[in-house]
Amino acid sequence: MLRSSFRILSMILTLLTCHALVHAQVAKALTISGYVRDAANGEVLINATVTVNPAGATVQTNAYGYFSVSLPAGKYTVNVSYAGYGINKTEVDLTANKTLEVSLSTAAVEMDQVVVTGEKRLRRTNTVALGIQQLSMGQIKKIPAFMGEPDVVKALLTLPGITSVGEGASGFNVRGGNVDENLIVMDEAPVYNSSHLLGFFSVFNPDAVKNVTLYKSAFPAEYGGRTSSVLDIRMKEGNNQKLAVNGGISTIFSRLSIEGPLQKDKSSFIIAGRRSYIDVLSRPFLKKDDRDNKLYFYDLTAKANLAINDKNTIYLSGYFGRDVFGFGSEAGFEWGNTTGTFRWNHLFSPKLFLNTSVYYSKYDYKLFFSSATNADVSEQYDWNSNIQTYGVKPALTWFVNNKHTVKTGLNVTYYDFYPGKGVATSEGEKNDITLKKRFGSEMAAYLEDTWKVNRKWQIQGGVRLNQYAYLGNTTVYYFRDTTANVRKPLDREEEVTSKKKVVDWTFFEPRLSLRYELKKNTFIKAGYARSTQYLHLLSNTASPTPVDLYFPSTNNIKPSLTDQVSAGVVTIPEGLPLEFSAEVFYKKMDDVLDYIDNANLELNQLVEADLVTGKGRAWGLELEVRKETGKWQGWVNYTLSRSERQTPGISKSEWYLSRYDRTHVINAALTYSHNKKWDFSANFNLGSGTPATFPDVRLDIQGIPVPYNSTEKRNNYRLPAYHRLDLSATMKGRQDKKFKQEWVFGIYNVYARQNAYTIFFRQNEDQPQQKEAVRLSILGSIIPSITWNFKF
């Protein structure tokens, strides 16, 4: 099956290649290609705009800062621009293929204003696809941050269509999709848990992140395996000009990064680490017994690159993060991600760029409980669990000519699920529960063409062929189908001894984006994407927890499939420094994972008996105004949306709102550069409360008031609206060549809003006959913070 699929795909590839080659030979074009870098530190710039005049050809640099333009011989001016940088103009007399090394310098604030009014830099308008949101670290750092720590995921939450279920909730929801439907890749390796300290911070060190791109719809064909969004995070390469040290000390974290050249202009490295120190600070205030308590998290990012020659560059990057909690010697709990990526960029010719990534990713957690040393019964409980992924991704970009850029490649992924092993020891006697390991493999091949049809039309069309197999070397369970929403009885189990296929699926995923230039700087866009998903985070709590399991699609759980159509318009009106955009989307989701009522997801060998699949649908309207130049910068957006599920036997088999549905959401993230010394920012978020299921009656059973929902409908109520204002001020201190420093003062939740995270019901502690509804707010007060950042 797989072999034949690849054969078909390679045939298509060959056909297309031959055709394009013929085409290319006729045109006899020459190529201007090269890399765009930051002059100060040698970092390549991703998505910089390269415009060649008078030909009018415009291209963007790729994820490795590379671009390639094909032109007939002649004299040209190459303009290279990038948000926040001055424009680079190079005159080229093109008689043979030409390689450029373009270095851009950061624009000073004043200069930026001048440059930008002169040159209309396009952003959303640049890309063919819809639903792309990019954030630079500069923008992320300007958004007021929780406890003064700039945060990638928190910044994303200010964008339209991206929400979370509340403060402290892990992950994020994109356009009515679940948390596990986001593909988060850090330097090409998947990250399974994006949160530190439950959901308060994300695992990405702001000092090491270079670029953040989120695709909410019409994903490029190179991405697959998740249905809701793709968050592509690229880490810095490290300064290849001089040794530099960045750091910060904030209320909760200390950060330090060192970067520098290994060989000037050729290779560099970066090592960035951070650690929280609530535990260190609180130690003197704790009682002696509590001093052994541990509560910290840290992460380490390291990366090195080496330009072997003009044609070959290799990169090695790694990430290791950990959250550690401990209560003396009696309980401990830790979790974290580990990723490693090796990448090799190879230029076959100025027009043919190959990147091959080999990666490894692991998410694991451990916990233990142990009796106190002086306890009369000695007992211990240890539990660990992990998911490991190995992958290879060759990706070829072929800059065919000015009309076509073709991307093709393969993704081969192998999954190793270790759901867990628990060992219980009591008075020297040991017993364990080991959940069966599970294995899966994913093979994908894709082909995509970005086609500039003419001045008005651009098309990005692609196909992705995905094959997923659930593999053996485990016990395969077969269940009988019974009533909906009732635990399925086990029919039989079968020991599959080798890693052969137990069941597999092949999906054909078309991806299409269209762009039409209605008039100058006004574009209409439309897109369609199909995507499929083969692994699921098993979680039926209000917010996912670090101990939730990832579980593959098996013979009992079908992969989920999502189709999304979207359309939008983006315009930069003449004479206004603003970008207006509007997008609508509709998503249809099939075989979305759901749980029977009272599902047992914990340490359950037969967990598949409690899982069911249903349908989902989501639609929405997103409006946004952005201003990325001048003293005032930022964005204001409004989202109207709905996200629903329908699963047989659940909520009377009717459509019900998903846990993360929010009808209205308004975000405003604004910054004001007062002068060279002071910057001010504000962030405001207002949204409808998330749906919740409330009990309307109670059954008194053996003196226990059991909450019961007599409507039998899920998510039949809504929590009160969520709103929050954060402010921050940045004071720049010394800013000379040798040393730069700044102070960031922040106030999170300025007016101490007690937003409802959940509302739950209980009997009054002192008067048990009295029942009450209780609102839980995760943050009930103002959280001030101070951060000191330095750079030398």
Partner 1 sequence: MKNFKLYIVALIALYTFSSCEKVVDVNLPDGQALPYLDAWITNQPGKQTIKFLRAVNYLDSKAPEVVSGAQIVLTDMTDNKTYDFTFQNGAYVYDAGAASIGIIGHTYKLSINWDGQQFEATDVLNRVTKIDSIAVEFRGKDDIEGDEKEGYYAEMHARDLAGGTDYTWIRTYRNGSLNYHVTEMVAIDASFYENVSDGYTFIEPFREGITNGEHPYLKGDVVTVKLRSLSKPSYDFLDQLIDQLYSGGLFAKVLQNVPSNIFNKQSNSTKKIYGWFGTVAESELSRAIN
Q: By CB under 8 A, what part of segment 213-242 binds partner 1?
A: none
Identify which of residues 58 and 763 has a Cβ nearer to partner 1 in the complex.
763
Token digits for 325? Answer: 């909690």
Under the binding rule (CB under 8 A), the answer on residue 778 touching partner 1 is: yes
Of 34, 36, 30, which Cα lies nearest the Cα of 93? 30
Contact 754, 720 (CB under 8 A): no
Q: Is 404 in the site for partner 1 (CB under 8 A)?
A: no
Task: By CB under 8 A, name the one of 200, 253, 550, 585 that touches partner 1.
Answer: 200
Minimum distance of partner 1 from residue 182's CB (angstroms) = 20
Classify residue 149 by its DSSP letter: -
Question: Least distance from C-beta 223 to partner 1, angstroms?
Answer: 30
What is the number of other CB atoms lying within 10 angstroms of the CB of residue 394? 16
Of 122, 33, 101, 19, whose CA–CA distance to 71 is shortest?
33
Determine if 453 is a binding residue for partner 1 (CB under 8 A): no
* Cβ closest to partner 1, residue 312 vs residue 426: 426
Distance CA 38, CA 46 (A): 10
DSSP at 44: B
Question: Six-digit token pair at 404?
Answer: 């076509």
Closest to partner 1 by CB, 680 or 694: 694
Burial category of 50 from C-beta neighbours within 10 Å (exposed 0-12, middle 13-18, buried 19 and up)? buried
Compute the residue count for the chain: 792
- The two three-digit tokens of residue 124, written as one number: 């959303």
Cβ proximity to partner 1: between 381 and 586 the closer is: 381
How far is Cα 217 from Cα 527, in angstroms, rounded to an integer?
7
**654 lines the binding site for partner 1 (CB under 8 A):** no
Does 646 interact with partner 1 (rule: CB under 8 A)?
A: no
Q: How many CB atoms lie within 10 A of CB 685?
A: 18
Among residues 479, 507, 580, 694, which is the contact residue for partner 1, using CB under 8 A?
694
Tokens 């207006």 belong to 580
> In terms of C-beta density within 10 A (0-12 exposed, 13-18 middle, 19 or more buried), how is residue 571 classed?
buried
Query: Of 376 and 736, which has the nearer Cβ to partner 1?
Result: 376
Q: How far is the CB of 260 from partner 1 (least distance, A)?
A: 36
**711, 723, 725, 732: which one contacts partner 1 (CB under 8 A)?**
711
Burial class (CB in 10 A: 0-12, 13-18, 19+), 15: exposed
773 in contact with partner 1 (CB under 8 A): yes
DSSP class of 245:
E
User: Which residue, chain included where needed, has tokens 């994908």?
Assistant: 444
By the rule CB under 8 A, 198 interacts with partner 1: yes
Per CB under 8 A, the segment of 2-10, 451-459, 538-546, 567-575 that binds partner 1 is: 538-546
Interface pick for partner 1 out of 106, 388, 555, 777 (rule CB under 8 A): 777
Closer by beta carbon to partner 1, 422 or else 630: 422
| Residues 365, 371, 372: CA angle, nearest 5 degrees | 115
User: Is there binding between residue 751 and partner 1 (CB under 8 A)?
Assistant: no
Under the criterion CB under 8 A, does residue 747 sit at the interface with partner 1? no
Distance CA 46, CA 234 (A): 9
Q: What is the helix (H) or strand (E) element at residue 8, kind and residue range?
A: helix 2-27
* C-beta of residue 333 within 8 angstroms of C-beta of residue 365: yes
Q: Contact between 697 and partner 1 (CB under 8 A)?
A: yes
Q: How many residues lie near partner 1 (CB under 8 A)?
A: 89
Which of positions 316-335 make contact with partner 1 (CB under 8 A)? 325, 327, 331, 333
Q: Could you say which residues in the range 151-170 bind partner 1, by CB under 8 A?
A: 168-169
Residue from 266, 698, 718, 753 binding partner 1 (CB under 8 A): 698
Structure tokens at 775: 């609102």
Does position 597 bind partner 1 by CB under 8 A?
A: yes
For partner 1, the closer of residues 453 and 773 by Cβ is 773
Which of 110, 710, 735, 739 contacts partner 1 by CB under 8 A? 710
Site for partner 1 in 551-590 (CB under 8 A): none
Please report, as residue ranges, which positions from 342 to 381 form the binding site for partner 1 (by CB under 8 A): 367, 369, 371, 375, 377, 379, 381
Nearer to partner 1, 398 or 595 (CB): 595
